[in-house]
Amino acid sequence: MRRWLVQPEFKVERDLERCIQCQVCVRQCANDVHSYDEEDEQVSSDGACCVGCHRCATLCPTGAISISRSQLEFKPNANWTPESIRNVYKQAEGGGVLLSAMGTDRPWRVYWDHLLLNASQVTNPSIDPLREPMELVTYLGRKPDQIRVERGPDGKVRLATEITPQLKLQTPIMFSAMSYGSISYNASQALARAAKAAGTFANTGEGGLHPDFRQYASNMIVQVASGRFGVDPDYLNVAAAVEIKIGQGAKPGIGGHLPGEKVDAAISRTRMIPQGSDAISPAPHHDIYSIEDLRQLIYAIKETTQHRKPVSVKIAAVHNVSAIASGAVRAGADIVAIDGLRGGTGAAPTTIRDNVGIPIELALAAVDSRLREEGIRNQASIVAAGSFRSAADVAKAIALGADAVYIGTSACVAMGCHLCQRCYTGKCNWGIATQDPFLTKRLNPDVATRRLTNLLRGWSLEIKEMLGMMGVNAIESLRGNREHLRAVGLSDREMVILGVKPAGE
Amino acid sequence: MDVQPNPTKEFALSRGERDSAACAIAGVINEQGRRFNGERIIRMIANMHDRSNGLGGGFAAYGIYPEHKDLYAFHVMLDSAAARENFEEFLRRYYEIETEEVIPTAPLREIRNRPILRRYFVSLRDRVLGEHYDLTEQDLVVRHVMQVNGQIKGAVVFSSGKNMGIFKGVGYPEDIGRFFRIEEYDGYLWTAHGRFPTNTTGWWGGAHPFGLLDWAVVHNGEISSYGINRRYLANFGYHCNMHTDTEVITYLFDMLLRKHRLGIEEACVALAPPFWDDVERMEPERRELVRGLRITYAGALLNGPFSVVLAHSRGMIGFNDRIKLRPMYAARRGDELFIASEEAAIREVSPELDGVWQAEGGKPVVCELKVPLDAPEKEPARA
């Protein structure tokens, strides 16, 4: 590799006493870090191309490989960090837009880590989820303002209010939009199967619905994004719900681009575009230039689906997110999904990923409060997205006002992702964010499905423990119940926006 | 003439936080509408003395103001002459005041730091109703009570029904009863509360019963879902000012029964719904109804340990949380139905009973008057 000003990020070291020259690392690394010299009969490593994905180290049978951050340090400079210097080198070299993947890695405040949950002591008993029912069932969709009942001649009371379509979730956690194309067939299949097994939903992203995945469609939300890939009446009608994607937390206001080399025969068929052609999603929907246009699309979809599917609108958390969410609800959205600053992506311009939008915690709190102030909170469910790392993050989001959450990165991590942030290269050594058949076959869909359902099960059990410790036995008693949150280390203004009291008060 | 009370620490203080409590509750109703005095309800609640700690007690009585039965009887706590002035100015703006007076009390060493306690028998001015074509008279009364309690400093309307009254304050309930001389009133329905507040010191306005219009709620327990119940109610114009979780129970019942016109049974399903597993096993029509109630009123679900007695002009409802984390007994003797935290309290006033049972979790004990409300007054049956 040509040496240039950008120095390697990682150093790959090989313990020659342990190495048995088996060449597993050579075969496993799609970035050509490891090579085998047949003349010398020697495996060697060049850390220059290492992305830090740990595939080689994980699979090395003798534990001979260690990966560490490059020790080459710049003169300390609080302003010019090594990243900013390297980025200038890269752009001076290439003159292009720097790309990144996954959610931002900048140290933006993670508000989850400043919020603490409550627990019962004495006056209200905590409830043991191993002995008592503990309910996580969540219905997403528009709810009426009130229920009307009628008493029949037989004296029986019947429901007289029509309830619009709802999604029933066994646990308030869904898989975020990840398109087939940005992730592999096996990864897509695992997400769909896990959603079905766990009684929740996976989101197709804007990649269309592969014919093989139709069998899971009752547990899938299909996305209609600006590229309209794979969208036809059948696609809309086969799914459980339809989501209009306006924006994405990692790249609000930015479109998408699946390079032509990833568009193989299957993806071409699924997205309904020619093989090998770039799949470009424009920044806006070219039929949505205003809120009334959004309303038209929402109702076009509702008409197409005979009003049998809830329609979700996904927006990125930007500065005036609460007004936008309110507009979406009034335009007819049954669900509003909000994707925060730290939300993931398969590819985004680094500078946008790292500098645009607001954290999901503040956006979620603002939207929930705003919809309540307007008296329309019941008209749509709120789904929060943008980096949930644990069941505690999920519980805190629900306490702030989310009906459910989307997880993307956590799901990828469950399947083996190591957050190397190079999804856009198509060289995912873990077989997730790639279409290279040599790499995709590494992800066993049976194993991945099991790992995903395990994650959902584990988090659900933990949420049940948390509900029980708070002395409630249904998720709706936590939802929007900010009395069960206290803040540590936040400013008064931040606490006002979050609607939480400081710890001790 | 009013006695200007000392600056009442218990009264003025502690409106900053939500209060929750563990307590004693009791209720008794005569289904034939026969009236009896407050002696027995005092004995019932006094029997459970150790369930309260002297920081709050109170009573609700129905049928006690037959001479003013068509007027709203506002019972008001005022912590200063200025508060009284502000309150009365507000009241006169919207209401004709037929009678106003000090609520009669007996001097009692145990009851200290009392606020000014007055009652006003009032009717809404026609002009006011005319200005609000979209609101009923009761909506306006609710709104005015909220305005006083939320905005007029030092004034709390703690009873706002017709031909009923709430009497409450800081002290042991039996002392509060003697203080308000409730044995001198005759009612066909009585409830009582002895308080053991856990989060804040007691204050007069925070004692139970908690009333709005002719609803009166006494409550033993803690509403762990208070945070969301409160925010949910705000959606519908109910603003919680009293910092006690009992407030949300009262407002939720008012909304579901009066505004949304649900039956008592459906309202109780909304507030303490069956578990989803049980819902799934119901026959389809019933399942649709319960599912509809549960998902629509998710924000109204009352969670946490509680037993509640809701009284209204036409009857009394005993109501437990879904998994029955608080005690509640019901008993019947002749025309009378009793509810209490402990069976002993019932036996205290009625040693012989036709039947006594523990109320089931989430399943209301409902008792309604068997006679029309304005039936000719029968001779009060003195107990």
The CA distance from A158 to A145, in Å, is 17
B19, pLDDT greater than 60:
no
Nearest by CB to A125, from B227, B298, B325: name it. B325
pLDDT in tens, B257-282: 999 999 999 999 999 999 999 999 99
Minimum distance, in Å, between the CA of residue B96 and any CA atom of chain A = 33
- A244 and A319 share one domain: yes
Element (H, E) at B97: strand B95-102
A472–B262: do the CB atoms touch at under 8 Å?
no
- A310 and A392 share one domain: yes
Half-sphere exposure of B183 (CA within 13 A, CB side): 12
Nearest by CB to B289, from A127, A149, A166: name it. A149
Predicted local confidence at residue A262, as pLDDT: 87
pLDDT, average across residues B69-95: 96
B186 by DSSP, 3-state: which?
strand
The one-letter amino acid at A357? G
B9, pLDDT greater than 60:
no
Predicted local confidence at residue B21, as pLDDT: 53
The CATH code for residues B9-368 is 3.60.20.10
- Residue B224 forms contact with A (CB below 8 Å): yes
A159–B289: do the CB atoms touch at under 8 Å?
yes
Query: Which of residues A50, A71, A96 is at a domain's end?
Result: A96
Q: What token pair was written down for B53?
A: 């700690």
Query: Which of residues A35, A70, A96 is at a domain's end?
Result: A96
Q: What is the CA radius of gyration of chain A?
A: 24
B344, pLDDT greater than 60:
yes
B263–A149: do the CB atoms touch at under 8 Å?
yes
- Residue B260 forms contact with A (CB below 8 Å): yes
- A421 and A501 share one domain: no
Instruction: Identify which of A274, A291, A187, A196 has the alpha carbon closest to the alpha carbon of residue A240.
Output: A196
Domain that holds residue A265: 174-456
CA-nearest residue of chain A to B223?
Answer: A124
- A338 and A383 share one domain: yes
Nearest by CB to B289, from A123, A157, A375: name it. A157
Predicted local confidence at residue B376, as pLDDT: 47
- A334 and A417 share one domain: yes
Tell me: cis bond preceding B209? Omega within 30 of 0 counts: yes
Please give the positions of B annotated as active site.
23
pLDDT, average across residues A338-364: 96
Task: Residue A291: give its domain's CATH number.
Answer: 3.20.20.70
Predicted local confidence at residue B199, as pLDDT: 58
Task: Residue A47: give its domain's CATH number.
Answer: 3.30.70.20
Residue A413's pLDDT band, with cuts at 50, 70 and 90, is very high
- A382 and A434 share one domain: yes
What is the 8-class DSSP label of residue A111?
G
Residue B22's pLDDT band, with cuts at 50, 70 and 90, is low
- A408 and A273 share one domain: yes
Q: Which of A64-68, B22-26, B242-246, B248-252 has the lowest mean pLDDT?
A: B242-246
Predicted local confidence at residue B53, as pLDDT: 86
The CA distance from A186 to A213, in Å, is 11
Name the residue with tokens 């026969």: B34
pTM summary value: 0.91
Q: In chain A, what's the furthest Cα-to-Cα distance?
A: 93
Preferred mutation among A117, A139, A146, A154 to probe B, highest tally of B CBs within 10 A: A146
Neighbouring CB atoms inside 10 A of A6's CB total 15
High-pLDDT (> 70) share of chain A, %: 99
Predicted local confidence at residue B198, as pLDDT: 65
pLDDT, average across residues A79-88: 93
B3, pLDDT greater than 60:
no
- Residue A479 forms contact with B (CB below 8 Å): yes
Q: What are phi and psi for residue A482, nearest 5 degrees?
A: -75, -10
- Residue A395 forms contact with B (CB below 8 Å): no
Task: Quote the mean pLDDT of chain A.
Answer: 95
Predicted local confidence at residue A306, as pLDDT: 97
- A338 and A431 share one domain: yes
Beta bridge partners of B339: B27, B330
A375–B236: do the CB atoms touch at under 8 Å?
yes
B377, pLDDT greater than 60:
no
- A448 and A488 share one domain: no
Q: Which residues contact B379 (CB under 8 A, 6 or more apart)?
A: B34
- A410 and A487 share one domain: no
pLDDT, average across residues B279-289: 96
Please state the ipTM of this predicted complex.
Answer: 0.91
pLDDT, average across residues B274-299: 96
CA dist A114 to A356, B129, B222, Å?
22, 49, 27
B380, pLDDT greater than 70:
no
Predicted local confidence at residue A6, as pLDDT: 84
Alpha-helical (H) ranges within B173-263 are 173-179, 226-234, 246-253
Q: What token pair was written down for B32?
A: 């034939």
A314, pLDDT greater than 80:
yes
Task: Quote the mean pLDDT of chain B.
Answer: 89
